[in-house]
Amino acid sequence: MIKGLETKVVIVGGGPTGLYCAYLIKRFNPRVLVTVLESKTENQSSCCSGHVSIKGINELMLAPFIDIDKLTKNRVRGAYIFGPNGTLLQVRTKQFQTLVIDRQGFDKEIEKLAKNVGVEILYGHSVVGVDEDYVIVSVSGGDRHINIDYNYLIGADGPNSIVRESFPEKQDNPDFVSTYQLIANGDFKKDMVSMYFGEFANGFFAWVIPESATTAKVGIGTRLGNNPQKAMELFLQVSELKLSNTSFLCSGLIPISKPLDSYIYKNRLLVGDAGYFVKATSGGGLIFGLKSAEIAATTLTDRFKKFKNINNYSKNLKRSISELRLHYKIRKYIYSKTPYEFDELLKNLKDAGIEDFLNNFGNMDYPSKMAPPLVFYPKFLKFYKEILNLIKID
Ligand X SMILES: Cc1cc2nc3c(=O)[nH]c(=O)nc-3n(C[C@H](O)[C@H](O)[C@H](O)COP(=O)(O)OP(=O)(O)OC[C@H]3O[C@@H](n4cnc5c(N)ncnc54)[C@H](O)[C@@H]3O)c2cc1C
Q: Which is nearer to ligand X, 59 or 386 (CB)?
A: 59
Q: Does 46 bind ligand X (CB under 6 A)?
A: yes
> Cα(107)–Cα(44) distance, rounded to whole angstroms?
8
Q: Which of 38, 111, 175, 294 binds ligand X (CB under 6 A)?
A: 38
Least spacing, CB of residue 42 vs ligand X, in Å: 10
Closest separation between CB of residue 287 and ligand X, Å?
A: 6
Q: Please tell me whether residue 286 binds ligand X under the rule CB under 6 A.
A: yes
Compute the distance between CA of residue 310 and CA of residue 134 in angstroms, rounded to an integer: 18
Q: CB of 19: closest distance to ligand X in angstroms?
A: 8
Question: What is the dihedral angle through the alpha carbons of 293, 79, 88, 379, rounded to the nearest 10 degrees?
Answer: 70
**Taking contact as CB under 6 A, which single stretch among the options 71-79, 115-123, 153-161, 357-365 is the one that binds ligand X?**
153-161
Give the Cα separation of 82 and 85 in Å (integer).
8
| Binding of residue 179 to ligand X (CB under 6 A) | yes
Phi, psi of 158 (to 5 degrees): 70, -170
Pick from 9, 10, 11, 15: which binds ligand X (CB under 6 A)?
15
Among 12, 182, 297, 349, binds ligand X (CB under 6 A): 12
Closest CA to 329 of 253, 274, 254, 259: 259
DSSP state of 83: -
9, 13, 176, 231: which one contacts ligand X (CB under 6 A)? 13
Residue 10 makes contact with ligand X by CB under 6 A: no
* Cβ nearer to ligand X, comparing 38 with 343: 38
Could you tell me if 38 and 18 are in contact, meaning their C-beta atoms sit under 8 angstroms apart? Answer: yes
Three-state DSSP state, 360? helix
259 near ligand X, judged by CB under 6 A: no
Q: Which of 78, 198, 272, 362 binds ligand X (CB under 6 A)?
A: 272
Number of residues that make up the chain: 394
Q: What minimum distance in Å lies between the beta carbon of 48 and ligand X?
A: 3
Cβ 316 vs Cβ 176: under 8 Å? no
Interface with ligand X (CB under 6 A), residue from 166, 181, 194, 320:
181
Measured from the CB of residue 78, what is the shortest distance to ligand X in angstroms?
15
Size of the site for ligand X (CB under 6 A): 38
String marking each residue 112-141 x if it binds ligand X according to CB under 6 A: --------------xx--------------
- Distance (Å) of CA 148 to CA 42, 72, 359: 20, 38, 51
- Are 70 and 44 in contact by the 8 Å Cβ rule? The answer is no
Distance between CA 286 and CA 195 in Å, rounded?
A: 19
With 0-12 / 13-18 / 19 or more C-beta atoms within 10 angstroms meaning exposed / middle / buried, residue 54 is: middle
If we measure between CA atoms, which residue out of 377, 46, 160, 18 comes closest to residue 387? 377
Is 222 among the residues that bind ligand X (CB under 6 A)? no
Q: Does 195 interact with ligand X (rule: CB under 6 A)?
A: no
Task: Give the nearest distance from C-beta 350 to ligand X in angstroms.
Answer: 25
> Phi and psi at residue 329, in whole multiples of 5°?
-65, -40
Contact residue for ligand X among 175, 211, 273, 294 (CB under 6 A): 273
Among 210, 228, 285, 362, binds ligand X (CB under 6 A): 285
**Is residue 278 a contact residue for ligand X (CB under 6 A)?**
yes
**Ramachandran area for residue 318 (φ above 0: left; ψ -120 to 50: alpha; else beta):** alpha
29 is a site residue for ligand X (CB under 6 A): no
Question: Within positions 351 to 370, which residues make up the interface with ligand X, using CB under 6 A?
Answer: none
Q: Which residues in this chain contact ligand X in the complex, by CB under 6 A? A: 12-18, 37-40, 46-52, 126-127, 156-158, 162, 179, 181, 219, 252, 254, 272-273, 278, 283-287, 289
